[in-house]
Amino acid sequence: MVRVLVLHGPNLNLLGTREPDVYGAQTLADLEAELTALAATLGATLESRQSNHEGVLLDWIHEAASSFDGLVFNPGAFSHTSLALGDAIAGTPLPCVEVHLSNVAAREPVRHHSFLSKHALGVVSGFGFASYTLGLRALCEYLAHSLND
């Protein structure tokens, strides 16, 4: 069975109350329940974690290589500021899909660049919770092919 780690970066613990016009009214718990149910239908197990601390996210990425097959990661604002998180993704063998709830390319210019994207299998952005479900589906399909080769 494929094992997937989902990481949520800073401020995602505020989903449902933080800028609902941008991020929606559903909570992080709602998102995690939806992803867990989807993972089961895809033949995967899923663990979700959220942190507002860059170092904690770095440690989880480093540790994930020994326990997981792939990573779905919404680094939040760290996408645009963290060379360290990009280096962590590049430095592990885990395939990673970067996801964003909002369309970061349509937002303020500082959000147009991600230090992680070039190290990710792909990026899904702008579809709200569906960014995560699309990212999870794509990662599981990729892993199904790569683990069977």
Q: What is the mean pLDDT of the chain?
A: 91
Of the residues 23, 53, 112, 142, only one is catalytic, namely 23
Q: What is the pLDDT of residues 87-115, one digit of tens each?
A: 999 999 999 999 999 877 667 666 656 76
Of the residues 62, 80, 100, 119, only one is catalytic, namely 100
Check residue 109 and give its pLDDT: 67
From CA 95, how far away is CA 117, in angstroms rounded?
12
* Nearby residues of 17 by Cβ (< 8 Å), 6 or more positions away: none
Q: Is the pLDDT of residue 116 over 70?
A: yes
**CB 50, CB 28: distance < 8 Å:** yes
DSSP-H helix ranges across 1-149: 20-23, 28-41, 54-64, 83-91, 129-148
Q: What does DSSP assign to residue 96?
A: E
| Range of weakest confidence among 47-61, 65-79, 113-127 | 113-127
Residues in the chain: 149
Answer yes or no: 100 catalytic: yes
Task: Report the pLDDT averaged over residues 20-49.
Answer: 92
pTM listed for this prediction: 0.92
